[in-house]
């Protein structure tokens, strides 16, 4: 009998995506006249891969947005974590004469030549999630995503405030980094480094890449535990999949996960908060704090395309609103550059269990679990 468990955390609010600055809500293109084959706006989307739950949700957001029902034809290419594959995909899009190119770049550098080719072909390029480092910023029309620098600053300050509130004079931190050179990795790593430099209660013990994957994070965490053992107080994971691997490694090697680092527990900090599993881990205090990263970027990209179609100039940068979630109210908010960011405490979870019986009929059981 096959079971699937879906965890729904009611304390996680559904955040509405919003870009910085003014935005125009675009209408869906009309396809009521002429040859249907020529009516769709053709979008070529180069996704960097499928390394995490967040990435899968991001891909699904694009696919569910750029449908023929919405007036689009989507050409999707999976880069499989290789920049060379993405560059080939972009050149393929240019040959296919698509109307727009959308890229989630695997790393920031190395894009000048191929983006110049897209510009020369008159095809607007929209970046999602990660940024590119190019000499000429006119090579891309707009960028949609998260403020990774802010995310890192928020996480670093949450740790600092937590330690201050608990009266802990120093905590040793290891950072399981994401894919080196990716925008999310850079912002989140720098946020932790800056916090450790500014606050005497935080010591950065080690930095090791987990490539945003559960398996590699588990492997490197096992190595770190063998090297540092009881010296580790906090593990700063740059996405949830890494956190899952880290938790598995810690528990399999006989250590405990949780916020009570004064009594020897190892505290986990993470980013994304996409899957129900991560939200349930907050409730159980296996992850003490998550800085949200919203993957549902497809509708905002469509808005930008429709602004261009209507002769308007979209914002160069559009950030999506995101929040912070924690196991308890030790830290109620953090202040970054004079702006207060509230922390939402997860207090309730509903577990929905679905299974198929021998006749193929789906049986659903709902169990309420309330923790105050």
- CATH number belonging to domain 148-293+326-349: 3.40.50.2300
Domain boundaries, the chain: 3-146+295-322, 148-293+326-349
Residue-wise pLDDT for 194-211, tens only, equals 999 999 999 999 999 999
Residue 275: predicted pLDDT = 72
pTM: predicted TM-score of the whole model, two decimal places? 0.75
| Collapsed DSSP state (helix, strand, coil) of residue 68 | helix
The CATH architecture one would assign to domain 3-146+295-322 is 3-Layer(aba) Sandwich (3.40)
Residue-wise pLDDT for 142-172, tens only, equals 999 999 999 999 999 999 999 999 999 999 9
Average pLDDT, the chain: 86
Is the pLDDT at 371 greater than 80, yes or no?
A: no
Residue-wise pLDDT for 328-352, tens only, equals 999 999 999 999 999 999 887 554 4
Distance of CA 134 to the CA centre of its chain: 23
Mean pLDDT of 221-248: 97
Crossing angle for the helix pair 240-252 and 214-228, to the nearest 10 degrees? 40
- Note whether 302 and 65 are within 8 A (CB): yes
Is the pLDDT at 79 greater than 50, yes or no?
A: yes
Residue-wise pLDDT for 275-291, tens only, equals 777 888 999 999 999 99
Mean pLDDT of 227-246: 96
Give 158-221 as a DSSP string: HHHHHHHHHT-S-EEEEEEE-STT-HHHHHHHHHHHHHHHH-TTEEEEEEEE-TT-HHHHHHHH
- Fold match between 3-146+295-322 and 148-293+326-349? yes
Cβ within 8 Å of residue 17, ≥6 positions away: 294, 296, 297, 299, 300, 320, 321
Give 246-305 as a DSSP string: HHHHHHHTT--BSS-GGGT-BEEEEEE--SHHHHHHHHTTSS-EEEE-----HHHHHHHH
Residue 1: predicted pLDDT = 36
């Amino acid at each position: 009998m096959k079971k699937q468990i879906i965890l729904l955390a009611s304390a996680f609010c559904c955040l509405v995506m919003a870009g910085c600055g003014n935005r125009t809500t675009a209408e869906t293109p009309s396809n009521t006249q002429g040859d249907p084959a020529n009516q769709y706006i053709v979008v070529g989307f180069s996704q960097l891969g499928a390394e995490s739950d967040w990435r899968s949700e991001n891909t699904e957001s694009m696919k569910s947005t750029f449908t023929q029902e919405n007036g689009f034809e989507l050409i999707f290419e999976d880069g499989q974590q290789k920049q060379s594959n993405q560059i080939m995909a972009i050149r393929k899009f240019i040959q296919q004469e698509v109307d727009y190119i959308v890229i989630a770049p695997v790393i920031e550098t190395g894009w000048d030549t191929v983006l110049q080719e897209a510009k020369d072909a008159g095809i607007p390029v929209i970046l999602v999630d990660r940024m590119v480092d190019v000499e000429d910023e006119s090579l891309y029309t707009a960028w949609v995503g998260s403020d990774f620098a802010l995310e890192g600053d928020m996480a670093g300050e949450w740790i600092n405030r937590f330690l201050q509130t608990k009266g802990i004079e120093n905590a040793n931190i290891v950072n399981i980094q994401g894919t080196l050179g990716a925008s999310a990795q850079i912002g989140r790593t720098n946020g932790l480094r800056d916090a450790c430099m500014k606050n005497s209660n935080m010591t950065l013990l080690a930095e090791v890449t987990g490539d945003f994957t559960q398996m590699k994070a588990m492997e490197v965490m096992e190595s770190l535990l063998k090297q540092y053992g009881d010296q580790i107080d906090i593990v700063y994971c740059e996405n949830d999949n890494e956190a899952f691997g880290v938790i598995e490694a810690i528990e399999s090697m006989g250590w405990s996960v949780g916020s009570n680092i004064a009594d020897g527990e190892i505290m986990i900090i993470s980013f994304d908060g996409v899957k129900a599993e991560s939200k349930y881990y907050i409730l159980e205090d296996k992850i003490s704090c998550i800085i949200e990263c919203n993957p549902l970027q497809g509708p905002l990209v469509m808005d930008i395309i429709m602004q261009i179609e209507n002769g308007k100039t979209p914002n160069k940068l559009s950030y999506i609103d995101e929040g912070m979630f924690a196991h308890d109210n030790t830290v109620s908010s953090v202040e970054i550059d004079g702006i207060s960011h509230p922390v939402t405490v997860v207090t309730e979870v509903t577990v929905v269990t679905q299974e198929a019986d021998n006749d193929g009929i789906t049986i659903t059981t709902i169990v309420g679990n309330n923790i105050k």
